[in-house]
Amino acid sequence: MAMAMNAKGGGGKRRRSRKSAPMAEMNMIPFIDVMLVLLVIFMVAAPLLTVGVPVELPKTGASQLNIEQKPIAVTIDERGKIFLQEKEVALDRLGPEIQAIAKEGFDERIYIRGAAQVNYGRVAEVLAALKTAGYTKTALINQPQERR
Tens of pLDDT along 9-60?
555 555 655 667 777 777 888 888 999 999 998 888 876 665 566 666 666 6
- The architecture that CATH gives domain 59-144 is 2-Layer Sandwich (3.30)
Kindly tell me the sign of the dihedral angle through the C-alpha atoms of 127, 122, 57, 63: negative
- Return the higher-pLDDT residue of 106 and 148: 106
Q: 111 pLDDT band (50/70/90 cuts)?
A: confident
- Taking the CA atoms of the chain, what radius of gyration do you get in angstroms? 32
Q: How far is CA 9 from CA 3, 4, 17, in A?
A: 11, 10, 17
Q: What are the domain boundaries of the chain?
A: 59-144
* pLDDT over threshold 80, residue 145: no
Residue type, 10: G
pTM for the complete prediction? 0.52
**The pLDDT of residue 49:** 64
Give 57-105 pLDDT, tens digit per residue. Answer: 666 665 555 555 667 888 888 888 899 888 888 888 888 888 888 777 7
In angstroms, how far is CA 131 from the centroid of its own chain?
A: 29
